[in-house]
Amino acid sequence: MHLMNNSFTGTFQLPNFNHYKLAELEISSNNITGQLPKEFGLVLSNLQYIGMSRNSFHGNVPSSIGEVKGLLYMDLSNNNFSGMLPGSMLGNGTDLSCLYLSNNNFSGMTSVDSLNINVHLSVLDISNNYYQNSLSGSIPHVLSRSPNFVVLDLRDNKFTGNIPSWINQLSKLRVLSLGGNALRGHIPNQLCQLRIVSIMDLSHNLLFGSIPSCFNNFSILKNMSFGNMGAYNFGSESVGPPKFFNPDHPLYNATLEFEATDSLLHGSSSRTIQVEFEMKYRYDSYKGDIIKQVAGIDLSCNELTGSIPPEIGDLHEIRSLNLSHNHLSGFIPISFSNLKSLESLDLANNNLSGEIPSQLVELNFLEIFDVSNNNLSGKILDKGQFGTFDESSYRGNPGLCGPIINKSCNTDEVPPPPSNDKEEEKEDEGGVDMVWFYWSFSASYVTILLGDGRA
Protein backbone atom coordinates (compact mmCIF):
# COMPACT_ATOMS: atom_id res chain seq x y z
CA MET A 1 0.00 0.00 0.00
CA HIS A 2 1.68 3.19 -1.23
CA LEU A 3 -0.12 6.43 -0.36
CA MET A 4 2.76 8.82 0.22
CA ASN A 5 2.85 12.47 -0.92
CA ASN A 6 -0.87 13.09 -0.75
CA SER A 7 -3.06 15.28 1.43
CA PHE A 8 -4.76 12.67 3.57
CA THR A 9 -5.95 13.98 6.92
CA GLY A 10 -7.53 12.58 10.04
CA THR A 11 -6.39 9.70 12.21
CA PHE A 12 -5.01 6.30 11.26
CA GLN A 13 -7.73 3.68 11.42
CA LEU A 14 -7.12 -0.08 11.47
CA PRO A 15 -9.34 -2.48 9.52
CA ASN A 16 -11.64 -4.82 11.41
CA PHE A 17 -9.70 -7.90 10.38
CA ASN A 18 -6.06 -8.93 10.20
CA HIS A 19 -4.19 -8.04 7.01
CA TYR A 20 -1.77 -10.95 6.83
CA LYS A 21 -0.88 -10.27 3.21
CA LEU A 22 0.00 -6.60 3.64
CA ALA A 23 3.80 -6.36 3.57
CA GLU A 24 4.38 -2.69 2.78
CA LEU A 25 2.72 0.35 4.31
CA GLU A 26 3.89 3.71 2.97
CA ILE A 27 1.87 6.73 4.10
CA SER A 28 4.66 9.32 4.45
CA SER A 29 4.18 13.01 3.63
CA ASN A 30 0.51 13.41 4.46
CA ASN A 31 -1.35 15.26 7.22
CA ILE A 32 -2.33 12.28 9.37
CA THR A 33 -2.71 13.07 13.07
CA GLY A 34 -3.50 11.30 16.31
CA GLN A 35 -1.94 8.24 17.90
CA LEU A 36 -1.20 4.89 16.36
CA PRO A 37 -3.75 2.32 17.57
CA LYS A 38 -2.51 0.01 20.32
CA GLU A 39 -3.37 -3.03 18.18
CA PHE A 40 -1.30 -1.82 15.23
CA GLY A 41 1.24 -4.66 15.31
CA LEU A 42 -1.37 -7.32 15.96
CA VAL A 43 -3.54 -6.43 12.99
CA LEU A 44 -0.67 -5.71 10.58
CA SER A 45 1.66 -8.38 11.86
CA ASN A 46 3.30 -9.30 8.54
CA LEU A 47 4.59 -5.88 7.57
CA GLN A 48 8.15 -5.76 6.27
CA TYR A 49 8.21 -2.08 5.44
CA ILE A 50 6.67 0.78 7.49
CA GLY A 51 6.93 4.35 6.21
CA MET A 52 5.10 7.01 8.25
CA SER A 53 7.49 9.97 8.15
CA ARG A 54 6.43 13.62 7.81
CA ASN A 55 3.00 13.40 9.37
CA SER A 56 1.67 14.66 12.70
CA PHE A 57 1.42 11.48 14.73
CA HIS A 58 1.86 11.94 18.46
CA GLY A 59 1.88 9.89 21.63
CA ASN A 60 3.76 6.69 22.35
CA VAL A 61 4.76 4.09 19.78
CA PRO A 62 2.52 1.09 20.56
CA SER A 63 4.31 -1.91 22.05
CA SER A 64 2.46 -4.18 19.61
CA ILE A 65 4.95 -3.17 16.91
CA GLY A 66 7.15 -5.77 18.54
CA GLU A 67 4.75 -8.36 17.09
CA VAL A 68 5.67 -7.40 13.53
CA LYS A 69 8.06 -10.32 13.29
CA GLY A 70 9.43 -9.82 9.80
CA LEU A 71 9.99 -6.08 9.98
CA LEU A 72 12.94 -4.97 7.85
CA TYR A 73 12.56 -1.20 7.51
CA MET A 74 10.75 1.38 9.64
CA ASP A 75 10.66 5.16 9.26
CA LEU A 76 8.76 7.14 11.91
CA SER A 77 10.81 10.32 11.49
CA ASN A 78 9.46 13.88 11.43
CA ASN A 79 6.44 13.37 13.64
CA ASN A 80 5.59 14.18 17.25
CA PHE A 81 5.99 10.76 18.81
CA SER A 82 7.04 11.00 22.45
CA GLY A 83 7.82 8.95 25.51
CA MET A 84 10.09 5.95 25.68
CA LEU A 85 10.30 3.33 23.01
CA PRO A 86 8.79 0.01 24.12
CA GLY A 87 11.36 -2.65 24.91
CA SER A 88 9.55 -5.09 22.65
CA MET A 89 9.84 -2.81 19.65
CA LEU A 90 12.60 -4.83 18.02
CA GLY A 91 12.09 -7.98 19.98
CA ASN A 92 11.06 -10.16 17.07
CA GLY A 93 12.29 -8.03 14.17
CA THR A 94 15.60 -9.85 14.01
CA ASP A 95 16.20 -8.81 10.40
CA LEU A 96 15.50 -5.10 10.86
CA SER A 97 17.97 -3.21 8.74
CA CYS A 98 16.95 0.47 8.93
CA LEU A 99 15.32 2.41 11.75
CA TYR A 100 14.61 6.13 11.42
CA LEU A 101 13.27 7.91 14.50
CA SER A 102 14.64 11.43 14.00
CA ASN A 103 12.80 14.69 14.63
CA ASN A 104 10.41 13.44 17.27
CA ASN A 105 10.05 13.95 21.02
CA PHE A 106 11.41 10.67 22.35
CA SER A 107 12.89 11.03 25.81
CA GLY A 108 14.85 9.14 28.43
CA MET A 109 17.84 6.91 27.98
CA THR A 110 15.89 3.70 28.43
CA SER A 111 14.35 4.53 25.07
CA VAL A 112 17.53 3.19 23.53
CA ASP A 113 18.77 0.86 26.24
CA SER A 114 15.51 -1.07 26.06
CA LEU A 115 15.86 -1.77 22.34
CA ASN A 116 16.77 -5.30 21.42
CA ILE A 117 19.37 -4.21 18.85
CA ASN A 118 19.94 -7.00 16.38
CA VAL A 119 23.10 -7.80 14.46
CA HIS A 120 21.53 -6.93 11.09
CA LEU A 121 20.78 -3.29 11.92
CA SER A 122 22.70 -1.13 9.45
CA VAL A 123 21.12 2.30 9.90
CA LEU A 124 19.98 3.94 13.11
CA ASP A 125 18.91 7.57 13.10
CA ILE A 126 17.59 8.98 16.37
CA SER A 127 18.80 12.53 15.74
CA ASN A 128 16.97 15.71 16.70
CA ASN A 129 14.98 14.40 19.61
CA TYR A 130 15.89 17.49 21.60
CA TYR A 131 12.46 18.64 22.73
CA GLN A 132 11.14 18.30 26.25
CA ASN A 133 13.29 15.77 28.14
CA SER A 134 15.23 14.65 25.06
CA LEU A 135 17.41 11.59 24.70
CA SER A 136 20.09 11.92 27.34
CA GLY A 137 22.70 10.05 29.35
CA SER A 138 25.72 8.21 28.02
CA ILE A 139 25.80 6.74 24.54
CA PRO A 140 24.21 3.33 25.25
CA HIS A 141 26.43 0.28 25.15
CA VAL A 142 23.59 -1.67 23.55
CA LEU A 143 24.54 -0.08 20.22
CA SER A 144 27.71 -2.16 20.16
CA ARG A 145 25.58 -5.26 19.57
CA SER A 146 25.24 -4.48 15.90
CA PRO A 147 28.65 -4.74 14.21
CA ASN A 148 27.02 -4.06 10.83
CA PHE A 149 26.20 -0.40 11.40
CA VAL A 150 26.81 1.66 8.29
CA VAL A 151 25.17 4.85 9.60
CA LEU A 152 24.86 5.86 13.25
CA ASP A 153 23.27 9.27 13.71
CA LEU A 154 22.76 10.54 17.26
CA ARG A 155 22.93 14.26 16.45
CA ASP A 156 21.23 17.03 18.39
CA ASN A 157 20.21 15.27 21.55
CA LYS A 158 21.54 15.57 25.10
CA PHE A 159 23.96 12.67 25.26
CA THR A 160 26.71 13.17 27.83
CA GLY A 161 29.86 11.42 28.98
CA ASN A 162 32.74 10.27 26.80
CA ILE A 163 32.74 8.88 23.29
CA PRO A 164 32.78 5.16 24.17
CA SER A 165 35.90 3.11 23.62
CA TRP A 166 33.83 0.30 22.09
CA ILE A 167 33.11 2.52 19.07
CA ASN A 168 35.90 0.70 17.20
CA GLN A 169 33.74 -2.44 17.17
CA LEU A 170 31.53 -0.75 14.55
CA SER A 171 34.12 -1.42 11.87
CA LYS A 172 31.67 -1.05 8.95
CA LEU A 173 30.66 2.51 9.80
CA ARG A 174 30.64 4.92 6.89
CA VAL A 175 28.89 7.74 8.77
CA LEU A 176 29.24 8.65 12.44
CA SER A 177 27.32 11.71 13.59
CA LEU A 178 27.54 12.66 17.26
CA GLY A 179 27.33 16.45 16.86
CA GLY A 180 25.12 18.73 18.92
CA ASN A 181 25.30 16.87 22.22
CA ALA A 182 27.19 17.45 25.47
CA LEU A 183 29.92 14.85 25.08
CA ARG A 184 33.12 15.48 27.04
CA GLY A 185 36.65 14.13 27.26
CA HIS A 186 39.32 13.44 24.68
CA ILE A 187 38.65 12.24 21.16
CA PRO A 188 39.50 8.54 21.58
CA ASN A 189 42.10 6.90 19.36
CA GLN A 190 39.61 4.07 18.84
CA LEU A 191 37.89 6.30 16.28
CA CYS A 192 40.95 5.90 14.09
CA GLN A 193 40.11 2.21 13.73
CA LEU A 194 36.95 3.08 11.78
CA ARG A 195 38.97 2.76 8.63
CA ILE A 196 36.19 3.12 6.03
CA VAL A 197 34.41 6.08 7.61
CA SER A 198 33.69 8.86 5.12
CA ILE A 199 31.75 11.33 7.27
CA MET A 200 32.49 12.10 10.91
CA ASP A 201 30.66 14.84 12.79
CA LEU A 202 31.75 15.50 16.39
CA SER A 203 30.88 19.20 16.33
CA HIS A 204 29.12 21.25 19.02
CA ASN A 205 30.19 19.19 21.99
CA LEU A 206 32.54 19.77 24.94
CA LEU A 207 35.47 17.69 23.71
CA PHE A 208 38.95 18.80 24.78
CA GLY A 209 42.56 17.80 24.27
CA SER A 210 44.35 17.41 20.95
CA ILE A 211 43.22 16.09 17.58
CA PRO A 212 44.47 12.50 17.14
CA SER A 213 47.21 12.29 14.54
CA CYS A 214 45.96 8.81 13.64
CA PHE A 215 43.01 10.27 11.74
CA ASN A 216 45.04 9.59 8.63
CA ASN A 217 44.09 5.91 9.12
CA PHE A 218 40.75 6.65 7.46
CA SER A 219 41.53 4.76 4.29
CA ILE A 220 38.33 5.71 2.48
CA LEU A 221 39.41 9.36 2.70
CA LYS A 222 42.94 8.57 1.63
CA ASN A 223 43.04 5.82 -0.96
CA MET A 224 39.57 4.68 -1.95
CA SER A 225 38.00 5.86 -5.16
CA PHE A 226 34.49 7.20 -4.61
CA GLY A 227 33.68 6.17 -8.13
CA ASN A 228 33.66 2.56 -6.97
CA MET A 229 31.66 3.16 -3.83
CA GLY A 230 28.41 2.08 -5.47
CA ALA A 231 29.84 -1.37 -6.06
CA TYR A 232 30.13 -1.99 -2.35
CA ASN A 233 28.06 -5.09 -1.73
CA PHE A 234 26.16 -5.13 1.54
CA GLY A 235 24.81 -8.59 0.80
CA SER A 236 22.16 -9.62 3.29
CA GLU A 237 23.04 -6.53 5.33
CA SER A 238 21.73 -4.17 2.67
CA VAL A 239 20.36 -0.89 3.82
CA GLY A 240 17.54 1.38 2.76
CA PRO A 241 14.11 0.96 1.25
CA PRO A 242 13.30 -0.41 -2.20
CA LYS A 243 14.19 2.02 -4.95
CA PHE A 244 10.61 2.81 -5.87
CA PHE A 245 9.88 3.97 -2.31
CA ASN A 246 12.53 6.75 -2.33
CA PRO A 247 11.45 7.98 1.13
CA ASP A 248 13.68 11.03 0.90
CA HIS A 249 14.07 11.53 4.64
CA PRO A 250 17.00 13.56 6.01
CA LEU A 251 19.51 11.52 7.94
CA TYR A 252 22.57 13.71 8.01
CA ASN A 253 23.71 17.19 7.06
CA ALA A 254 24.58 16.32 3.46
CA THR A 255 22.70 13.26 2.41
CA LEU A 256 24.80 10.16 1.92
CA GLU A 257 23.50 7.52 -0.43
CA PHE A 258 24.92 4.04 -0.98
CA GLU A 259 23.56 1.62 -3.54
CA ALA A 260 23.65 -2.11 -3.08
CA THR A 261 22.12 -5.17 -4.68
CA ASP A 262 20.29 -7.49 -2.37
CA SER A 263 17.13 -9.48 -1.84
CA LEU A 264 15.81 -7.65 1.18
CA LEU A 265 12.27 -7.24 -0.12
CA HIS A 266 12.12 -7.72 -3.83
CA GLY A 267 15.04 -9.70 -5.06
CA SER A 268 17.68 -7.54 -6.67
CA SER A 269 16.40 -4.08 -5.82
CA SER A 270 18.52 -0.99 -5.43
CA ARG A 271 18.57 0.45 -1.94
CA THR A 272 19.71 3.83 -0.71
CA ILE A 273 20.78 5.65 2.45
CA GLN A 274 20.60 9.39 3.00
CA VAL A 275 22.81 11.31 5.37
CA GLU A 276 22.93 15.00 6.30
CA PHE A 277 26.29 16.72 6.73
CA GLU A 278 27.12 20.43 6.96
CA MET A 279 29.35 21.68 4.16
CA LYS A 280 29.98 25.20 2.91
CA TYR A 281 28.01 26.80 5.75
CA ARG A 282 24.79 24.94 4.97
CA TYR A 283 23.07 21.61 5.41
CA ASP A 284 22.59 20.00 2.04
CA SER A 285 20.89 16.83 0.93
CA TYR A 286 22.84 15.00 -1.76
CA LYS A 287 21.36 12.16 -3.77
CA GLY A 288 22.36 9.77 -6.46
CA ASP A 289 25.93 9.33 -7.57
CA ILE A 290 27.00 12.73 -6.24
CA ILE A 291 26.82 11.47 -2.67
CA LYS A 292 29.61 9.04 -3.41
CA GLN A 293 31.89 12.04 -3.41
CA VAL A 294 30.84 13.49 -0.06
CA ALA A 295 33.49 13.05 2.61
CA GLY A 296 34.23 15.28 5.56
CA ILE A 297 35.30 15.77 9.16
CA ASP A 298 33.65 18.33 11.44
CA LEU A 299 35.26 18.96 14.84
CA SER A 300 34.04 22.54 15.18
CA CYS A 301 32.70 24.20 18.32
CA ASN A 302 34.56 22.17 20.93
CA GLU A 303 37.41 22.93 23.36
CA LEU A 304 40.22 21.30 21.40
CA THR A 305 43.79 22.51 21.93
CA GLY A 306 47.27 21.86 20.56
CA SER A 307 48.45 22.00 16.97
CA ILE A 308 46.74 20.63 13.87
CA PRO A 309 48.28 17.24 13.03
CA PRO A 310 50.04 17.43 9.67
CA GLU A 311 48.91 13.83 9.10
CA ILE A 312 45.44 15.16 8.21
CA GLY A 313 47.07 16.13 4.93
CA ASP A 314 47.07 12.42 4.07
CA LEU A 315 43.26 12.40 3.69
CA HIS A 316 43.49 13.11 -0.01
CA GLU A 317 39.81 12.61 -0.86
CA ILE A 318 38.30 14.72 1.91
CA ARG A 319 35.87 17.40 0.67
CA SER A 320 35.17 19.33 3.85
CA LEU A 321 37.29 20.00 6.95
CA ASN A 322 35.91 22.15 9.76
CA LEU A 323 38.11 22.78 12.81
CA SER A 324 36.69 26.19 13.66
CA HIS A 325 35.75 27.57 17.10
CA ASN A 326 38.33 25.70 19.15
CA HIS A 327 41.60 26.71 20.82
CA LEU A 328 44.02 25.25 18.29
CA SER A 329 47.47 26.83 18.05
CA GLY A 330 50.60 26.56 15.92
CA PHE A 331 50.87 26.79 12.13
CA ILE A 332 48.54 25.78 9.32
CA PRO A 333 50.15 22.53 8.07
CA ILE A 334 51.80 22.76 4.66
CA SER A 335 50.54 19.19 4.13
CA PHE A 336 47.04 20.63 3.60
CA SER A 337 48.18 21.32 0.05
CA ASN A 338 47.80 17.55 -0.52
CA LEU A 339 44.03 17.78 0.00
CA LYS A 340 43.41 18.20 -3.72
CA SER A 341 39.67 17.46 -3.48
CA LEU A 342 39.03 19.90 -0.64
CA GLU A 343 36.10 22.26 -1.23
CA SER A 344 35.64 23.76 2.22
CA LEU A 345 38.31 24.57 4.84
CA ASP A 346 37.21 26.38 8.00
CA LEU A 347 39.88 27.17 10.62
CA ALA A 348 38.25 30.31 12.02
CA ASN A 349 38.22 31.34 15.67
CA ASN A 350 41.34 29.57 16.91
CA ASN A 351 44.81 30.71 18.01
CA LEU A 352 46.71 29.81 14.84
CA SER A 353 49.84 31.80 14.00
CA GLY A 354 52.43 32.13 11.25
CA GLU A 355 51.80 32.63 7.56
CA ILE A 356 49.20 31.05 5.30
CA PRO A 357 51.22 28.40 3.40
CA SER A 358 51.73 29.49 -0.19
CA GLN A 359 51.34 25.85 -1.28
CA LEU A 360 47.58 26.08 -0.60
CA VAL A 361 47.11 27.78 -3.97
CA GLU A 362 47.27 24.24 -5.37
CA LEU A 363 43.78 23.56 -3.93
CA ASN A 364 41.89 24.14 -7.17
CA PHE A 365 38.45 23.09 -5.89
CA LEU A 366 38.42 25.22 -2.74
CA GLU A 367 35.19 27.26 -2.53
CA ILE A 368 35.13 28.11 1.18
CA PHE A 369 38.21 29.31 3.08
CA ASP A 370 37.94 30.92 6.51
CA VAL A 371 40.85 31.72 8.83
CA SER A 372 39.25 34.72 10.52
CA ASN A 373 39.94 35.55 14.16
CA ASN A 374 43.36 33.94 14.56
CA ASN A 375 46.88 35.35 14.96
CA LEU A 376 48.09 34.85 11.39
CA SER A 377 50.60 37.15 9.74
CA GLY A 378 52.18 37.76 6.35
CA LYS A 379 50.78 38.27 2.89
CA ILE A 380 47.37 36.95 1.91
CA LEU A 381 47.39 34.55 -1.04
CA ASP A 382 45.76 35.93 -4.19
CA LYS A 383 46.35 33.30 -6.85
CA GLY A 384 44.06 30.46 -7.96
CA GLN A 385 40.94 30.04 -5.85
CA PHE A 386 42.34 32.46 -3.29
CA GLY A 387 41.59 35.27 -5.70
CA THR A 388 37.87 34.62 -5.08
CA PHE A 389 37.85 35.07 -1.28
CA ASP A 390 37.00 38.41 0.28
CA GLU A 391 37.96 40.25 3.44
CA SER A 392 35.60 38.22 5.64
CA SER A 393 37.85 35.17 5.25
CA TYR A 394 40.72 36.99 6.97
CA ARG A 395 39.29 39.53 9.40
CA GLY A 396 40.58 39.47 12.96
CA ASN A 397 44.22 38.80 11.98
CA PRO A 398 46.08 42.13 12.52
CA GLY A 399 49.33 40.68 11.11
CA LEU A 400 47.91 39.86 7.68
CA CYS A 401 48.33 42.18 4.73
CA GLY A 402 47.43 42.37 1.06
CA PRO A 403 45.12 44.13 -1.40
CA ILE A 404 42.11 42.04 -0.36
CA ILE A 405 42.10 43.68 3.08
CA ASN A 406 43.46 47.02 1.79
CA LYS A 407 46.64 46.79 3.83
CA SER A 408 50.05 47.23 2.21
CA CYS A 409 52.71 44.58 2.70
CA ASN A 410 55.57 46.88 1.47
CA THR A 411 57.82 47.40 4.48
CA ASP A 412 60.54 49.09 2.37
CA GLU A 413 58.66 52.33 1.79
CA VAL A 414 60.52 55.35 3.22
CA PRO A 415 58.16 57.24 5.49
CA PRO A 416 58.02 61.03 5.10
CA PRO A 417 60.36 62.85 7.51
CA PRO A 418 58.60 64.08 10.61
CA SER A 419 58.09 67.79 10.91
CA ASN A 420 60.51 69.46 13.35
CA ASP A 421 58.39 71.86 15.31
CA LYS A 422 61.32 73.02 17.43
CA GLU A 423 63.33 74.17 14.40
CA GLU A 424 60.31 76.02 13.03
CA GLU A 425 59.79 77.54 16.43
CA LYS A 426 63.42 78.68 16.52
CA GLU A 427 63.08 80.15 13.04
CA ASP A 428 59.93 81.93 14.11
CA GLU A 429 61.65 83.21 17.19
CA GLY A 430 64.64 84.27 15.05
CA GLY A 431 62.37 86.24 12.75
CA VAL A 432 60.79 88.11 15.66
CA ASP A 433 64.23 89.05 17.04
CA MET A 434 65.30 90.53 13.67
CA VAL A 435 62.22 92.71 13.50
CA TRP A 436 62.79 93.93 17.03
CA PHE A 437 66.41 94.63 16.09
CA TYR A 438 65.39 96.84 13.18
CA TRP A 439 62.89 98.77 15.27
CA SER A 440 65.40 99.27 18.03
CA PHE A 441 68.10 100.35 15.54
CA SER A 442 65.76 102.86 13.90
CA ALA A 443 64.68 104.35 17.22
CA SER A 444 68.26 104.71 18.37
CA TYR A 445 69.25 106.38 15.08
CA VAL A 446 66.45 108.92 15.36
CA THR A 447 67.39 109.70 18.94
CA ILE A 448 70.98 110.32 17.98
CA LEU A 449 69.94 112.68 15.17
CA LEU A 450 67.64 114.64 17.45
CA GLY A 451 70.36 114.91 20.02
CA ASP A 452 72.81 116.29 17.50
CA GLY A 453 70.26 118.91 16.35
CA ARG A 454 69.85 120.27 19.84
CA ALA A 455 73.53 120.59 20.21
What 3-state DSSP class applies to 262? strand
Q: Please check the confidence at residue 353 and state whether its pLDDT lies above 90.
A: yes
CATH class of 53-298: alpha beta
Complete DSSP assignment for 270-312: EE------EETTEE----GGGGGG--EEE--SSEEEEEPPGGG
Say how far residue 448 (Cα) sits from the centre of its chain.
100
Q: Please check the confidence at residue 320 and state whether its pLDDT lies above 50.
A: yes
Overall size of the chain counted in residues: 455
| Dihedral sign from CA coordinates of 287, 288, 292, 293 | negative
Determine the Cα–Cα distance for residues 51 and 53; give it in Å rounded to an integer. Answer: 6
Determine the Cα–Cα distance for residues 85 and 107; give it in Å rounded to an integer. Answer: 9
What is the tens place of the pLDDT at every residue in 358-417?
A: 999 999 999 999 999 999 999 999 999 999 999 999 999 999 999 999 999 886 554 555
Helix, strand counts (H, E) of the chain = 3, 30
What does the domain layout of the chain look like in residue ranges?
53-298
> Of the spans 62-76, 82-96, 100-114, which averages the highest pLDDT?
62-76
Name the residue type at position 28. S
What is the tens place of the pLDDT at every residue in 169-189?
A: 999 998 899 999 999 999 999
Lowest model confidence (mean pLDDT) among 216-225, 226-235, 432-441: 226-235
Check residue 16 and give its pLDDT.
78
First to last CA, the chain: 143
- Whether the model pTM is above 0.85: no
Q: Please answer whether residues 412 and 386 qualify as being in contact, where contact means their C-beta atoms are separated by less than 8 angstroms.
A: no
What is the tens place of the pLDDT at every residue in 264-285?
A: 333 323 345 556 656 555 555 5
